[in-house]
Amino acid sequence: MAALNIKKGSSSHSAYDLRDFHSEVERSHTLAVIVENEPGVLARVIGLFSGRGYNIDSLTVAEIDHKGHTSRITIVTRGTEAVIEQIRAQLGRIVPVHEVHDLTTEATAVERELALFKVAGTGEKRVEALRLADIFRANVVDSTLESFVFEITGTSDKIDAFAELMRPLGLVDVARTGVAALARGV
């Protein structure tokens, strides 16, 4: 080793510098995958995750450029640095995948999720639900004498917190979109 004059574990992130052993800590990463909008492309992405044993915590997909036939898939996954690097490389290998971005490491990103909550109840609980919804800036998008449907947007943590608060107040049903994310700045 000495004869090679090489330091292991250089901190530079260039493609060829000697790297440190990857840490074993698992972390949540948000990946943005820009794909050709063609049949089966979502199945390929999901098949990759199930076939190779990776986790999907959240997944959203929609066409973002009708003329260019591209869709954006946002995936929240979890793994060690080495696993995330593998996931990125494996995604990049799928033929209709144009770009893969790790929004957790490449840049700071804004992440938002939209959720709908149906809360049923009367009296004190109903009033309390409405008061908390106001604090969380949730909108009432439907109401009956016994129920509300709230619409809330925010980070996944915020939505989790809102769900916790609604549960004792008569939470009946939840629909969440999963995370949409964009890098900050230009």
Helix (H) or strand (E) holding 163: helix 156-166
4 binds other proteins (CB under 8 A): yes
| Closest C-alpha among 118, 94, 116, 111 to residue 60 | 111
Compute the distance between CA of residue 53 and CA of residue 124 in angstroms, rounded to an integer. 47
Piece of 17-25, 116-124, 128-136, 177-185 that binds other proteins (CB under 8 A): 17-25
Phi, psi of 66 (to 5 degrees): -65, -45
Query: Which CB atom, from 11 or from 14, has the smaller least distance to other proteins?
Result: 14
Q: By CB under 8 A, is residue 26 in contact with other proteins?
A: no
Three-state secondary-structure class, residue 69 = coil
d(CA 177, CA 115): 6
Q: Which of residues 90-119 bind other proteins (CB under 8 A)?
A: 90, 92-96, 98
- CB of 180: closest distance to other proteins in angstroms? 24
Shortest Å distance, C-beta 42 to other proteins: 11
Among 21, 53, 67, 144, binds other proteins (CB under 8 A): 21
Q: Is 135 in the site for other proteins (CB under 8 A)?
A: no
Determine, following the binding rule CB under 8 A, whether residue 145 of this chain makes contact with other proteins: no
Pairing between strand 147-154 and 109-120? antiparallel
What's the number of CA atoms in the CB half-sphere (13 Å) around residue 173?
6
Interface positions with other proteins (CB under 8 A) = 1, 3-6, 8, 14-16, 18-19, 21-22, 36, 39-40, 43-44, 47, 51, 82, 85-86, 89-90, 92-96, 98
